[in-house]
Amino acid sequence: MKIPAHAPLHLLHQVGAGTLATHARDPHGFPYPTLLPFATDAQHRPVILVSRLAEHTRNLQGDPRAGFLVAQTQGDDVLNAPRMTLLGLFEPTHDDAGSPLARRYLRYHPDAARYLALGDFTFWTLHIERLRYIGGFGAMGWLDGADLDTLEPLAAEEEEALIRLAEVRPAPRDRFALLGVDRYGADLLIDGQRTREVFETPQRDAASLHAVLADCLARYSD
């Protein structure tokens, strides 16, 4: 079954943690799953922040092939929950704490600043080759990683300019925050809960993106 690319793309922005499966060093070759927080980069690829001493990091250093499970579960009804398994290669990025990638990650996971301060943690990005998405019973299929997003990614400078637009809103900043923006939607934190505002159509230029985001923020002004 052919699945629309927007479904897995939005799911990646709605979940804050995923299960990383690496190839164990000992016992050799066995799947080694672990739960980790993640954020997406400008190309919607999962980014993790891991210690060089962690078992899964050492596994990736020996074999970068990995699976990454993302699921949006509510209660015990797991089989009807949207979920997907991404397959690809994890690579270290060597971004420091002041890089655009680090700034974006810390908007989603501000507590990670203490790990970056240790100097032992490194960002790794999953270069997606294929993914299998399951939207519920009977709604499933494979998608090539290159088909997840075919548009030019939003530049970090443009995204951060849009975030500054949200910061001048009158709503208390402890109740509302704009975490990230892309051509397909905006990631919001409202009263401590993450939500995804999905745009009706992809925004291909700066003017239309600015306008649709302004309309979105106006709905949260009260």
Domain ranges of the chain: 6-147, 156-218
Distance of alpha carbon 154 from alpha carbon 157, whole angstroms: 8
Tell me which fold the domain 156-218 belongs to.
Answer: Split barrel-like (3.20.180)
Query: Which pLDDT belongs to residue 165?
Result: 80
Q: What percent of the chain has pLDDT over 70?
A: 94
Indicate the pTM of the whole model.
0.93
Give the pLDDT mean for 169-196.
Answer: 84
pLDDT at residue 204 is higher than 60: yes
CATH number of 6-147: 2.30.110.10
Closest CA to 125 of 101, 107, 109: 101
Using 50, 70 and 90 to split pLDDT, how confident is the model at 218? confident
Q: Which residue has the higher pLDDT, 130 or 74?
A: 130
- What is the per-residue DSSP string for 19-80? EEEEE-TTTTT-EEEEEEE-EE-TTS-EEEEEETTSHHHHHHHH--EEEEEEE---TT-GGG
